[in-house]
A and B are shown apart, each in its own frame.
Chain A
Amino acid sequence: MFGDYSLGDLGSIFVMQGFAGLILFSVYVLMALGLAIIFGQMGVINMAHGEFMILGAYVTWMTSNFFQSYLPSLFSGYFFLAMILAFVASGALGMLVEWVLIRHLYKRPLDTLLATWGLSLILQQAYRSVFGAREVGVELPQWMLGSLHVSDSIEVPINGVFVMCLTVLITVAVAYVMYKSRWGRQVRAVVQNRIMAGAVGINTEKVDRYTFGLGCGIAGVAGSAFTMIGSTGPTSGQLYIVDTFLVVVFGGAASLIGTIASAFSISQTQSTLEFFLSGSMAKVLTLLAVVGILMLRPQGLFALKVRK
């Protein structure tokens, strides 16, 4: 298929394709991070993860509308505020959900699957009733549109770069919180042994609530960022949920490094195959590869070494 193209063309296409892979990688990491905390650390199978993302997207949409109507002069910077609000809104909803629903189910992890699936349906219908069944278009400030012109044939999408930076930032922040801070130690202690953690004076209920809230909040930020590249509608969250679980499970549920490694391998496989085959075939082959590897390594790419 390369016969007709000049070397220069090919070179720039490989660069572009590399970027495409990196952008997909960032998207995967961003959407999987929240779930890696909730599913990986807490063991809650959160099927409503996509809906928490979409809440973030709707918050972004509302912020954008608000700025357009009342503060048009500050419109170019609204996105940063929108992401913070998205984090707060999704996090708050997450904490509420944890308090009402999830905390009763820690001993029955499989039931969280059903409960959160039901929650996702409720949230979808709530979005539909509040925001309407149609998709909404989030208007972006001018500087976030278009691409950086590197050479005649190499263009780097600005929103892609933005998502990449955001992903790096959030990943570093999460890694710091989980592995360096006192609170992160508490979280890990609770995950490893709830009863002992309680016995040494950790308020496990509080830790659970904030951990769940943090995961949902990150989902909200991801949803906010995805308004740049995807759709915002009541059911848009469903578009992400399968890939999200795929990344987390493949990476090894309890490992942050695993999530990143798995996002990287899945995205690179996917985007390379997409280029040489068609989109649907790429998806099929990627899924087959993941299934195959998981059969050989059921615990995922990276697993915590724990005494059984």
Chain B
Amino acid sequence: MLAVHKFEPSSRTNRVSSNQSGVLMSDEANKGLLSPLRRKLLMGMAAVPAITMLPRASFAQAPATSAVNTTGLAVTDTEVTVGILHSATGTMAISETGSIEAEKLAIEQINAMGGVLGRKIKFIQEDGASDWPTFAEKAKKLLVNDKVAAIMGCWTSASRKAVLPVMEQYNGMLYYPTFYEGLEQSKNVIYTGQEATQQILAGLNWIAKEKGAKSFFFVGSDYIWPRTSNKIARKHVENVLKGKVVGEEYYPLGNTQFNSVINKIKLTKPDVIFTDVVGGSNVAFYKQLKAAGIDLSKQALLTISVTEDEIDGIGGENIAGAYACMKYFQSLDNPNNKTFVPAFKKMWGEKTVIGDVTQAAYLGPWLWKLTAEKAGSFDVDKIAAASPGVEFKGAPEGYVRIHENHHLWSKTRVGRAKLDGQFELIFETADFVEPDPFPKGYQ
């Protein structure tokens, strides 16, 4: 592990070893040498696992461009270009801003540590503008004109579905950050968020055991992700937990009136309200739930769609007490996260919050870097082949490893929303949950 930082690259080469295991940063050893300021900077950089930091002198040892790039990607002797493709404008900008921020942070940190295969990462950012054909068009532009080595991007399933044929046709590599409904797997995509079974099943098991929950009421926005997720949840509740789904309701995206469904919830008195309402509707739903006198400290509510980002809009006082089931919370107490959160806030402002997807987006550039180093190449085919088994021990969520199916092994966690808009970790699975995008018995 190493501890060189970018401020004096040539004078220091205290690279201890170039293992990939991302051991904890040993800045204790350097203490005496560092001014307080530099120490602080170094701590910030410890947000990342120390891989191989290559001092300038060692660029000479970086593999030749002809060796790492046989397919005409935008790779020079000193730079490699990747694309960032999210919505910076339009409806989805609310959600995708965090992902853009996380990816830029990761790229900056990687560059500060010397880049990938001796090359700094340069990024080209394109705006998908919350419009799915635009996403496809921009993806094509990034692959065909800019010849980017990888794309960090997309957020909604619709945008991913629009981009997927482009990625496959022009053989690109997409790192997709959002938790999603599954039922997809591609050589050209690494899914850094959880697929539905990973996210949902452990949470349902937990709430059934912990709260003795038998009856569930599902409320979701009306599109593919909530519907698929609820289908999986229903099968699990009925077949595995032997419980009962007493209601399943969908509202159009952007709906702002939930009083009727709230009345139905009151009538059926479910043990658990299970929700995957998204976007602006979320805010309306929780505000009206609270206004209708449903007290979330007494009525169990499990959501798979509310992260710290959404709570910003909902308001902590409206959702305090609700349980959320995903893989990352900003409040996670582990060494990686303790350096990641301050680094993120330093770059994007003290008030920024970090939700599950933001963290997953942060994994993208890192996993790509680790894979490129494992493969010794930027070529997409080699990256795709080398991806399974790549592990990232510096992940803010703790640890992730890429599965054969290009999804990540990850833990599932349940957090409880607090008044200040943060989650308190209540439960996490003991083991890493295997990603299963095509779950048998849940179709």
Q: Is B224 an interface residue (CB 8 A)?
A: no
Q: Is B212 an interface residue (CB 8 A)?
A: no
* A159 with B284: CB separation less than 8 A: no
* A278 with B250: CB separation less than 8 A: yes
* B314 with A134: CB separation less than 8 A: no
**B258 to A, closest residue via Cβ:** A279
Given A133-B93, A238-B254, decide whether A145 and B317 contact each other with a Cβ distance below 8 A: yes
The interface residues of chain B lying within 8 Å CB-to-CB of A138 are 315
Q: Is B263 an interface residue (CB 8 A)?
A: yes
* B94 with A235: CB separation less than 8 A: yes
Q: Is A160 an interface residue (CB 8 A)?
A: yes
* B97 with A136: CB separation less than 8 A: no
Bound-complex Cα distance A23 to B252 (A): 19
* B251 with A236: CB separation less than 8 A: no
The interface residues of chain B lying within 8 Å CB-to-CB of A23 are 257, 259
Given A135-B312, A231-B313, A280-B251, decide whether A13 and B280 contact each other with a Cβ distance below 8 A: no
* B280 with A137: CB separation less than 8 A: no
Among B103-111, B286-294, B392-400, B426-434, the stretch that binds chain A is B286-294
The interface residues of chain A lying within 8 Å CB-to-CB of B256 are 27, 226, 229-231, 239-240
The interface residues of chain B lying within 8 Å CB-to-CB of A76 are none
* B313 with A20: CB separation less than 8 A: no
Residues 141-172 of chain A: 1 if any B CB is under 8 Å from the residue's CB, otherwise 0? Answer: 00001110100010101111000000000000
* B290 with A145: CB separation less than 8 A: yes
The interface residues of chain A lying within 8 Å CB-to-CB of B282 are 231
Bound-complex Cα distance A230 to B89 (A): 21
Bound-complex Cα distance A271 to B259 (A): 8
The interface residues of chain A lying within 8 Å CB-to-CB of B314 are 137, 231
* B291 with A134: CB separation less than 8 A: no
Distance in angstroms from B416 CB to nearest chain A CB is 18
Distance in angstroms from B336 CB to nearest chain A CB is 25
* B266 with A13: CB separation less than 8 A: yes
Distance in angstroms from A269 CB to nearest chain B CB is 12
Q: Is A249 an interface residue (CB 8 A)?
A: no
Interface size on B, residues (CB 8 A): 48
Distance in angstroms from B310 CB to nearest chain A CB is 8
* A146 with B287: CB separation less than 8 A: no
* A134 with B309: CB separation less than 8 A: yes
Given A238-B91, A271-B260, decide whether A137 and B254 contact each other with a Cβ distance below 8 A: no
The interface residues of chain A lying within 8 Å CB-to-CB of B316 are 137
The interface residues of chain B lying within 8 Å CB-to-CB of A146 are 290-291, 293
Q: Is A70 an interface residue (CB 8 A)?
A: no
Residues of chain B in range 297-315 having any CB-CB distance to chain A below 8 Å: 309-315
Bound-complex Cα distance A160 to B284 (A): 12
Q: Is A194 an interface residue (CB 8 A)?
A: no
* B89 with A239: CB separation less than 8 A: no
Q: Is A16 an interface residue (CB 8 A)?
A: yes
Q: Is A283 an interface residue (CB 8 A)?
A: yes
The interface residues of chain A lying within 8 Å CB-to-CB of B249 are 278-279
* A229 with B312: CB separation less than 8 A: no
* B252 with A283: CB separation less than 8 A: yes
The interface residues of chain A lying within 8 Å CB-to-CB of B97 are 132-134
Residues 17-29 of chain A: 1 if any B CB is under 8 Å from the residue's CB, otherwise 0? Answer: 1011001100100
**A267 to B, closest residue via Cβ:** B257
Q: Is B41 an interface residue (CB 8 A)?
A: no
Q: Is B264 an interface residue (CB 8 A)?
A: yes
16 further contact pairs, Cβ within 8 A, besides A145-B290, A235-B280, A275-B260 = A16-B266, A20-B260, A23-B257, A23-B259, A133-B88, A134-B94, A134-B97, A135-B313, A137-B318, A231-B256, A231-B284, A238-B254, A240-B256, A271-B259, A278-B251, A279-B255
Interface positions of A (Cβ within 8 A of B): 5, 9, 13, 16-17, 19-20, 23-24, 27, 125, 128, 132-139, 145-147, 149, 153, 155, 157-160, 226, 228-236, 238-240, 270-271, 274-275, 278-280, 282-283
